[in-house]
Each structure stands twice: as C-alpha cells, then as structure tokens.
C-alpha cells in the first residue's frame, strides 16, 4: 500500500530511490511551522506523511501571504510560507471534532507508526485523541507532541509562539547591536530548532521501538529547545555566572570575529586563533599588529577590542568588498560576504549541492523549493511530491490505507466528517 501511494505522490513516473525511512507512515496533525517542518524532514527521508487538515481552510499558513504562488490560470491560492514546509505530504481533510472524524483518526492510527500534533496539552485528550487513548489502539505508536512549554509545569497550558519564546528564553536579549534594543532573529529559528529536535526525537523513539517493541510519547517544546540551543552562552552563565549582552555580530570570546564595513559594503571576518590573525594582518598590510603586545594573543585582542576593530575598519574602508574578497580568498582566514537571499540562492556551492530544486505543482506548475540539506551515500533523501492542495488525497488515502469503498467515503462526506 505504501508503494502504491508513493507512486501516486510523485505522479506515477520513475520512483526515486527509497529513503532511509521508507516504510514508515506518519499521521501529521500539526500546522504552522515547527510541526510541519519536523514532518517534512521525515517525508524527505522517505516516510509517508499524511497531513490531516481542517476542512474549513486547512493549515493556517495556506492563507499567510503575500507572497503566493501564481497558478497557471493566473490566480493565486497557495502561500509561499505553506509551500516551504509541506512537500512530500498527502493532505486529507478530517473534522476531528465530529464523532465520525474521531473514529476515522482512530482507524488511521492502527495503520501508522508515528502521530505528530501541536495542540495545547490536554486538548486532544479531551477529544479522545491523546497519547493514552491512541496507545491503547496501537501500542507501537510513537506519539510526538510539539508545544510552547511542554506537557507539564506551571506554563504547560500556555500557547507557544516563536517570537514570544525568543524573548522569554533569552535569545532576543542577546540579539541586536550593543547599544540598541533587543531584536528577533530574521527567521523563526526557535520554531525551526524545535522542529529539528522533534524530528530527531521521533527517530530516536523509532529506534528504541526496534529494541523494545513499544512506542512512546515524545514531548518537545519551543521553550526547552531554545534554552538548549543557548549553547556556550547558556554555559557561560551556568558555569561562571556570566550574564550575556547584545554585541551585534561580534563574538564575546574571539576578536576579530564580526562584520566590518568596507568602502562599499560589509564583510564578515573571523580570526579564531593567533595564526589566522597574523595572516589577516599580512593580507591587510598591517603586519605590525600581529606583533603588537596589545593584540598578540586572542586574550589581548579581546581586552583591546575597540581599538583593534577601529584600526581594522579604517583599513577595510580603504577598498571595496570585491578587493578584499579577492585578497582573502585561499589565505586560510575565515571570511564571507553578506549575501542577500537572491545571492544566496545563486551561490555556486548552493546550486552544486542541489539546494534549489524544481517540482511540478498541481495548480502552480513548476515551483522551486529548497532541497534536503543532508546527503546520504545510499538511502537518499528526496523531494518526491509537491506540497499538496487542501484535501487532495482524502479519497485516495482512505481507499489505500483503510480499504474504504466509495459508498463509505461518500457517507463520511455527507456526515461532514471529511
């Protein structure tokens, strides 16, 4: 059944090589970003992902625009936001608040390996779709919950939003210029990080199931994911009581390691050790700096940060970006231009690594998507199908997965369950 559905997903043509999760079936009750991102990752790895959507509009992000993809007939329906995190999925519409809809989910749970949801804790349990109820139906089920604050604790009942958790979990406090206000990161990084943690947690639970024969509840939250990824900043506080501060693009423990202005733009330069700093000084024709006791070691450079950055800035501003990029190329000093998004997707390495891929969408025609970021030598990740239209696969999934006939499907439609 999985093979036949995979053929349908990629249009029935030549099937791509099965991914590492081929044979795993996922029931996805998530919407917006963290949850859909995690299930898209599973889909890229070959899992069959069945996205369950509200019949009245579906995933909220379908309407989050502009921009929208332009359809072949000139209309616009699907938002770029929705298209970014919902490929390799099949969409079915189910009214989970109806009794018939709940029974349908129960039937599907018998046939899947993974159930992913991002409702406020307790909400699905009241509807008969919580972990305990579904575990009784399928003891091998891996049930993953993605929430703002986790399943327990005094904040468990609060809804979670990326930018709010960025603020509450310390990320926004350390982001921005030194003397400026706190700012959010340019992409919803807390949601995306949580999606990555959730997808890894699901894989670990599937691996454990191979040993124990039992599924389990994977409890993943935005707050904990963001706290965990404070990394060295968090450790500096826990180990040494050192409170972080906003530093723009600068690094608290390495100098120079920041964006510096050139004549016509900006460039990111890093010198993580004394050898790199010495090389940088030679390239910039400031050889004496490498021997100056004020800047000889990284500890010295951190202590005398302001004056050193002033000297480097004055030199870099004497030439344009292109000059310094040519001068630094191949010298062993980390550097990078500050690319905009258009330049990023035209980057020769991005293109060489297939990070821009094109696929046929049922209404928009050919659309471009970012490719899977992890490459496998054998069982490859792939884009097998475009982000689905709302309810595009309802009938097909009910026929192929549950064996429903046309009469039974029509009955569910008349009952407004699908």
Distances in Å between the alpha carbon of 24 and those of 3, 49, 195, 203, 360? 11, 9, 18, 11, 25
Burial of 237 (0-12, 13-18, 19+ CB in 10 A): middle
The predicted-structure confidence for 257-283, as pLDDT tens digits, reads as follows 999 999 999 999 999 999 999 999 999
Query: CA 41, CA 18: separation in Å to the nearest integer?
Result: 15
What is the share, in percent, of the chain residues with pLDDT greater than 90? 94
The predicted-structure confidence for 287-301, as pLDDT tens digits, reads as follows 999 999 999 999 999
Residue appearing with tokens 């018998």: 110
Give me the chain's average pLDDT, please.
94
Q: What is the pLDDT of residue 66?
A: 94
Structure tokens at 247: 């530093």
Say yes or no to pLDDT of 4 above 80. no
User: Nearest 5 degrees, angle CA 17-CA 22-CA 28?
Assistant: 125
Query: CA 109, CA 337: separation in Å to the nearest integer?
Result: 49
Q: What is the pLDDT of residue 6?
A: 52
Query: CA 181, CA 161: separation in Å to the nearest integer?
Result: 20
Q: What is the pLDDT of residue 3?
A: 41
Q: What is the pLDDT of residue 77?
A: 84
Q: HSE on the CB side for 200, CA within 13 Å?
A: 8
CA 205 to chain centre: 20
Catalytic-residue membership of 306: no
Question: Which residues fall within 8 angstroms of residue 136, CB to CB, at 6 or more apart?
Answer: none
Question: Which residues fall within 8 angstroms of residue 414, CB to CB, at 6 or more apart?
Answer: none
Structure tokens at 410: 């029509």
Query: Could you give all domains of the chain from N- to C-terminal order, each with its CATH number?
Result: 2-229+350-414 (3.40.50.10540), 257-261+266-337 (3.30.1540.10)
3-state secondary structure at position 59: coil
Specify the DSSP class assigned to residue 63.
G
Q: What is the pLDDT of residue 15?
A: 63
Contact 87, 385 (CB under 8 A): yes
The predicted-structure confidence for 162-192, as pLDDT tens digits, reads as follows 999 999 999 999 999 999 999 999 999 999 9
* Sheet with 335-337, edge to edge strand ranges: 257-261, 266-270, 335-337
User: Nearest 5 degrees, angle CA 402-CA 6-CA 50?
Assistant: 55
The predicted-structure confidence for 204-222, as pLDDT tens digits, reads as follows 999 999 999 999 999 999 9
Say yes or no to pLDDT of 1 above 90. no
Closest by CA position to 121, among listed 226, 223, 219: 219
Say yes or no to pLDDT of 401 above 60. yes
Query: CA 197, CA 19: separation in Å to the nearest integer?
Result: 20
The residue among 15 and 395 whose pLDDT is bigger is 395
Q: What is the pLDDT of residue 12?
A: 46
DSSP string, 359-404: EEETTTEEEEEEPPS---SSS-----SPPPPTTTTHHHHHHHHH--
Residue from 191, 287, 300, 405 carrying the catalytic annotation: 191
Q: What is the pLDDT of residue 93?
A: 98
Query: CA 2, CA 21: separation in Å to the nearest integer?
Result: 12
Q: What is the pLDDT of residue 10?
A: 47
> pTM to 2 decimals?
0.92
Q: What is the pLDDT of residue 150?
A: 98
Q: What is the pLDDT of residue 319?
A: 97
Query: CA 154, CA 164: separation in Å to the nearest integer?
Result: 17
Q: What is the pLDDT of residue 76?
A: 86
What is the share, in percent, of the chain residues with pLDDT greater than 70? 96
The predicted-structure confidence for 129-162, as pLDDT tens digits, reads as follows 999 999 999 999 999 999 999 999 999 999 999 9
The predicted-structure confidence for 34-75, as pLDDT tens digits, reads as follows 999 999 999 999 999 999 999 999 999 999 999 999 999 999
Query: CA 175, CA 9: separation in Å to the nearest integer?
Result: 42
Say yes or no to pLDDT of 11 above 70. no
């Amino acid at each position: 059944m999985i093979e036949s559905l995979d053929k349908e997903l990629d249009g029935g043509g030549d099937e791509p090589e099965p991914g590492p999760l081929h044979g795993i079936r996922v029931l996805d009750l998530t919407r917006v970003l963290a949850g859909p991102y995690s299930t898209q990752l599973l889909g890229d790895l070959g899992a069959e992902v069945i996205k369950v959507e509200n019949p009245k509009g579906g995933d909220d992000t379908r309407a989050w625009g502009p921009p929208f993809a332009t359809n072949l007939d000139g209309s616009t329906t699907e938002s770029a936001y929705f298209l970014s995190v919902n490929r390799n999925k099949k969409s079915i519409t189910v009214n989970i608040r109806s009794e018939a809809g709940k029974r349908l989910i129960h039937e599907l749970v018998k046939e899947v390996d993974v159930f992913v949801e991002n409702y406020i804790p307790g909400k699905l349990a009241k509807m008969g779709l919580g972990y305990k109820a579904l575990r009784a139906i399928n003891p091998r089920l891996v049930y993953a919950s993605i929430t703002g604050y986790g399943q327990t604790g005094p904040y468990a009942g609060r809804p979670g939003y990326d930018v709010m958790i960025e603020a509450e979990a310390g990320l926004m406090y350390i982001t921005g210029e030194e003397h400026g206000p706190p700012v959010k990161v340019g992409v919803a990084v807390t949601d995306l990080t949580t999606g990555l943690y959730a997808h890894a947690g699901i894989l670990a639970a599937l691996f454990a199931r191979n040993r124990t024969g039992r599924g389990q509840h994977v409890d993943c939250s935005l707050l904990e994911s963001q706290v965990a990824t404070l990394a060295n900043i968090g450790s500096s506080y826990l180990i040494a009581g050192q409170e972080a501060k906003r530093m723009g693009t600068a690094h608290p423990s390495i100098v120079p390691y920041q964006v510096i202005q050139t004549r016509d733009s900006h460039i990111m330069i890093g010198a993580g050790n004394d050898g790199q700093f010495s090389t940088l000084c030679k390239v910039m024709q400031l050889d004496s700096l490498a021997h100056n006791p004020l800047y000889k070691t990284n500890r010295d450079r951190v202590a005398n940060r302001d004056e050193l950055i002033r000297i480097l800035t004055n030199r870099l501003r004497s030439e344009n970006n292109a000059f310094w990029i040519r001068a630094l190329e191949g010298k062993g000093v980390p550097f990078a231009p500050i690319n905009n998004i258009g330049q990023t997707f035209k980057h020769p390495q991005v293109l060489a690594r297939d990070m821009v891929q094109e696929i046929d969408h049922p209404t928009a025609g050919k659309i471009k998507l970012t490719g899977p970021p992890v490459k496998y030598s054998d069982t490859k990740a792939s884009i097998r199908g475009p982000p689905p239209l709302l309810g595009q696969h309802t009938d097909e999934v009910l026929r192929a997965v549950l064996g429903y006939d046309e009469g039974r499907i029509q009955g569910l439609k008349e009952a407004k369950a699908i």
